[in-house]
Every structure is written in C-alpha cells, then in structure tokens.
C-alpha cells in the first residue's frame, strides 16, 4: 500500500533562474513552472517527493531514503508550505490538498517543526 503525504506551496523561494544557451551561444533564462502542490509517496524503494502545478501538471520528482529527507528537500526549495497531511486512500491527493488549502495557514520552512502527519 502506498502512503501519500501532501502539502501546498504557500511561498516560493527566489531561485536563480535556470539558463540555457541560445543558438547564438548567449545564455537565456527560462522560467520554471510554478509549483503549487507537493506530494511525498512512500514506495518500496523510498520516498518520492513529487511537484505539481496548480493545473495538476507534474513538474518533477526526487527519490529520498527517508520521509524526513524528502521533507527536508521540500523545505529547502520553498519558503513556506502548509502542514503535511496524510492523504486518504480514496481521494485524489491533488484535489484533497486544494480542498484543505483554505484552512491551512503559512508556516516557516523548518524541517520537522510541527508537521501534521496524523489522520486528517
């Protein structure tokens, strides 16, 4: 059984924009997709931190050995995220976190500080 934890990105860090080379050789900035929802899925081989836009478009994922490692990665990428919640098995995690977003308040990005991993 896969356990999925979910959180909403409330504030983005100001990253240095990724760059690519144009045909003329000059570096050009490419805007990164705006991540709005984070999921951590527990699988046999580890914990996958998955990132999604507000339109449910998958932006990417990273594999971590522990839940704490995955959460630490999320906190290092975003200024503020909502409390982590264990998503119910019978609902779409993206829809679930959107429904919860109106009740969660912003919190500072400190790994392990006040994470809510209990049943919703």
In-domain check, residue 26: no
Model pTM above 0.75: no
What pLDDT score does 87 carry?
Answer: 86
What pLDDT score does 19 carry?
Answer: 40
What pLDDT score does 12 carry?
Answer: 73
What pLDDT score does 22 carry?
Answer: 43
In-domain check, residue 46: yes
Number of structural domains in the chain: 1
Segments forming the whole domain that contains residue 59: 3-13+32-100
Tell me the CA distances in angstroms from 25 to 9, 16, 29, 30, 36, one per residue in order: 35, 19, 13, 15, 33
What pLDDT score does 52 carry?
Answer: 92
Query: How would you classify residue 100: left for phi > 0, otherwise alpha for psi between -120 and 50, otherwise beta?
Result: alpha
In-domain check, residue 111: no
In-domain check, residue 21: no
């Amino acid at each position: 059984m896969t356990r999925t934890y979910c959180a909403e990105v409330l504030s983005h860090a100001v990253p240095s924009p990724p760059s690519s080379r144009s045909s003329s050789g000059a570096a050009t900035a490419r805007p990164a997709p705006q991540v709005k929802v984070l999921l951590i899925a527990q699988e046999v081989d580890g914990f996958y931190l998955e990132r999604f836009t507000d339109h449910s478009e998958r932006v990417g994922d990273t594999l971590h050995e522990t839940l704490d490692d995955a959460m630490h990665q999320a906190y290092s990428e975003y200024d503020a995220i909502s409390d982590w919640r264990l998503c119910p098995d019978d609902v779409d995690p993206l829809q679930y976190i959107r429904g919860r977003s109106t009740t969660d308040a912003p919190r500072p990005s400190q790994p392990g500080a006040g994470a809510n991993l209990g049943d919703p």
